[in-house]
Amino acid sequence: ELKVEQNPLFLSMQEGKNYTIYCNYSTTSDRLYWYRQDPGKSLESLFVLLSNGAVKQEGRLMASLDTKARLSTLHITAAVHDLSATYFCAVDLNTGNQFYFGTGTSLTVIP
């Protein structure tokens, strides 16, 4: 069974600051996904990382994947309040069938 761990689980940060969320997984995979969930809402796809060394950026968020270290990072630059949400990473076993999600990182950006 694949284990996916995120840290931190809770993150409170001030507007304008930078921070990184980490996603570690326990077995070989070169496909990793990041999602955002607002309270009481569904999940929205942010990034799809499909190979070692992949880097994707959208606005103040940048995601990267190191398959050798089994690690993905989600970096937040100059945080703004609108980024407050829960962020999940998910890994699939290179089949598209079995997805394993991390427990999520609840991010609160304080003005």
Residue 27, CA distances (Å) to 4, 64, 69 in order: 9, 17, 10
To another protein, the closest distance from the beta carbon of 3 in angstroms equals 11
Q: Decide if residue 50 touches another protein (CB under 8 A).
A: yes
Task: List, in order, residues 6 or more apart from 21 with CB less than 8 Å away.
Answer: 6, 7, 8, 11, 73, 74, 75, 76, 87, 105, 107
Is 41 a residue that touches another protein (CB under 8 A)? yes
Residue type at 86? Answer: T
Binding of another protein by 63 (CB under 8 A): no
Of 21, 31, 64, 70, the one binding another protein (CB under 8 A) is 31
Select the residue interacting with another protein from 74, 104, 107, 109 (CB under 8 A).
104
When the beta carbons of 68 and 95 are compared against another protein, the nearer one is 95
For tokens 């840290």, name the residue: 7
Binders in 72-91 for another protein, by CB under 8 A:
88, 90
